[in-house]
């Protein structure tokens, strides 16, 4: 691993630890300045009584903020998100519904 990649990894770890992001179901790595994320993106809701729409709104804001912070790390050239429950299209974050995760035959799409 390059020294720059190691620095990026450690900065991301610091961000995750200090945030409301549940990183237990998420993996990340860095190769030549490109940061890769995969897995399930979840947050710990700030208030337990939040409804689903409010949690979704907070999650979207967290994703934007998290991406912005990662891009500000020196040496980061790009970020690749491969979350199973969220996707980014045309600069917007959208939740992936469970029925979108599976094909019509019930098998996982590849």
- Which CATH number does the domain housing residue 78 bear? 3.30.70
The pLDDT value recorded for residue 38 is: 96
The pLDDT value recorded for residue 78 is: 97
2 contacts 44 by C-beta, under 8 angstroms: no
What are the pLDDT digits (tens) for 20-79? 999 999 999 999 999 999 999 999 877 778 888 998 999 999 999 999 999 999 999 999
Q: Is residue 110 part of a domain?
A: no
| Owning domain of residue 55 | 3-99
Q: Is residue 104 part of a domain?
A: no
pLDDT at residue 84 tops 80: yes
Q: Is residue 106 part of a domain?
A: no
- Per residue, the 3-state secondary structure of the chain, as one string, reads CCHHHHHHHHHHHHHHHCCCEEHHHEEEEEECCEEEEEECCEECCCCCCCCHHHHHHHHHHHHHHHHHHHHCCCCCCEEEEEECCEEEECCEEEECCHHHHECCCCCECC
Q: End-to-end CA distance of the chain: give it in Å, rounded.
A: 29
More reliable by pLDDT, 99 or 43? 43
The pLDDT value recorded for residue 110 is: 45
Q: Is residue 29 part of a domain?
A: yes
Q: Is residue 76 part of a domain?
A: yes
Q: How many domains in the chain?
A: 1
Q: Is residue 85 part of a domain?
A: yes
Q: Is residue 107 part of a domain?
A: no
pLDDT at residue 86 tops 50: yes
Q: Is residue 26 part of a domain?
A: yes
The pLDDT value recorded for residue 95 is: 94
């Amino acid at each position: 691993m390059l020294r720059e990649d190691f620095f990026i990894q450690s900065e991301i770890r610091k961000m995750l630890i200090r945030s409301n992001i549940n990183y237990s179901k998420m993996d990340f790595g860095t190769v030549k300045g490109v940061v890769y994320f995969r897995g399930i993106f979840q947050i710990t809701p700030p208030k337990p009584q939040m409804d689903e729409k409010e949690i979704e709104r907070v999650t979207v804001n967290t994703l934007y903020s998290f991406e912005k912070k990662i891009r500000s790390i020196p040496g980061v050239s790009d970020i690749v998100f491969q979350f199973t429950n969220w996707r980014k299209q045309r600069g917007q974050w959208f939740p992936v519904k469970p029925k979108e995760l599976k094909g019509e035959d019930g098998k996982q799409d590849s």
